[in-house]
A = this chain, B = another copy of it.
Amino acid sequence: MPIEIDYRFPPGVNAEKQAKIIAIGQTVGTWDAPFSHREDILNSHLAQVIRSVTNPDGSSLTTIQFPEANVENDISSLLTMIFGKYSMAGAAKIIAVRLPHHYGTHPKLGISGIRERLNVFNRPLIMAIFKPALGLSASDHAAILQEVANAGLDIIKDDEIMGDLQVAPTLKRLEACHQVLDNIKQQTGRTVLYAINVTGTADKLIEKARLVVREGANALLLNVLTYGFSVLEALAADSEINVPIFAHPAFAGAICASPDYGMSYSVVLGTLMAHGGADAVLYPAHYGSLPFDPDEEAKIRESLRSRHVFPVPSAGIHPGIVPKALADYGQDVILNAGTGIMDHPDNPAAGVKAFFEALERIQQGESFELDHVPQGSLRRALEKWM
């Protein structure tokens, strides 16, 4: 399979003309007589317009096939080729990217690797986020972790805004939380993953990722779109980074939210993340707090799973959406809740328990109607959020 890209143009754009501009302008460009002796090789680098169709609403769609010889088996060179200069040429949105299976980087762990680390194989995983996002000390983090981990949580992550800040430096957070996770492992045999946010300029970020892994970090969080796909790929290919990488979608809306410009969410958070080496990818769930198209969400899920990457629907997730989420996702999903755990009316531990009660009720085929749910953590959560 070659590299195929679908570009959508709004009504009034001459798609056939634009397709030619892309196929030539984003590859070889034009050439004159002095290069006629290189005609064959120049032609071999040109892209081909496969089809151009006009939709009933007047918008149009063009599919272009690019030679793999033009790019370097990574996401950054791919983006430069398919939408580098052309992104500035007028209204056009990339709505699909189809890559050969071998293209890019495979996750080291993915769905099965993360399950093996946790020793949990037959149910969705439950993930929390440290809240408040900024202002807590390292020991505050440890105290929160102690509570939610004891309650049965599988995974916790930093808020994406929490970097290597004076209030709670990365290594201090790791040290404090690592102690908690070690104790839980010793006392219960359970592994809990803590995806610690790695930040900094590219070289320092990669060094820091290696350092925290040496110091016992068992998962990483990366804001792929603000640091760069090239950083994700470096971490994913690094032999010292033998822990799962959780990719955060921060900044995705700047590229994906416009109807007529940029690239679809399903391309950026699905296809590109899956070929960039992420082990698990966070993205908004359509039943959450951010506006999100269910079709885009379904495409992301399929793209990720096709490369064994864990889907992590996020943002506004609480125990009340578990029935819908499981109907959509089945077992291979990580349900990621921030305030949906931390702001449970009782306490964060009750927030975790509410999720497990919800999973249990679904397994037993029991109703989520408020009157049918017994007093307890789940009922308290449903009363607050449903």
Interface residues of A (CB under 8 A from B): 26-32, 34-35, 38, 41-45, 69-72, 74-77, 79-81, 83-91, 131-137, 140, 159-161, 163-167, 199-206, 223, 226-231, 233-234, 237-238, 248-258, 260-263, 284, 290-292, 315, 338-339, 343, 347
Contacts and interface: CB of A to CB of B under 8 A. Distances in A.
A163 B72 contact: yes
A88 B261 contact: no
Contacts of A29: 131-133, 159, 338-339
B89 A134 contact: no
B253 A201 contact: no
A204 B234 contact: yes
Given A202-B234, A226-B84, A339-B29, A136 B35 contact: yes
Copies of the chain in the assembly: 2
Contacts of A41: 135, 167
B140 A199 contact: no
A30 B44 CA distance: 57
A41 B265 CA distance: 36
A284 B86 CA distance: 12
Contacts of A230: 200-202, 205, 227-228, 231
Name the 7 nearest CB pairs between A and B, nearest first: A228-B228, A87-B253, A84-B250, A258-B258, A88-B253, A42-B135, A258-B261
17 contacts: A27-B134, A28-B135, A45-B134, A72-B165, A74-B200, A79-B226, A86-B253, A87-B250, A87-B252, A87-B253, A88-B292, A202-B203, A202-B206, A203-B206, A253-B261, A254-B255, A255-B262
A140 B38 contact: yes
A381 to B, nearest CB: 15
Contacts of A248: 84
Contacts of A338: 29
B200 A88 contact: no
A227 B38 contact: no
Given A135-B44, A227-B230, A80 B339 contact: no
A343 B34 CA distance: 11
Given A229-B228, A257-B261, A76 B284 contact: no
Contacts of A343: 30, 32
A314 to B, nearest CB: 9
Nearest to A45: B134
A116 B26 CA distance: 34
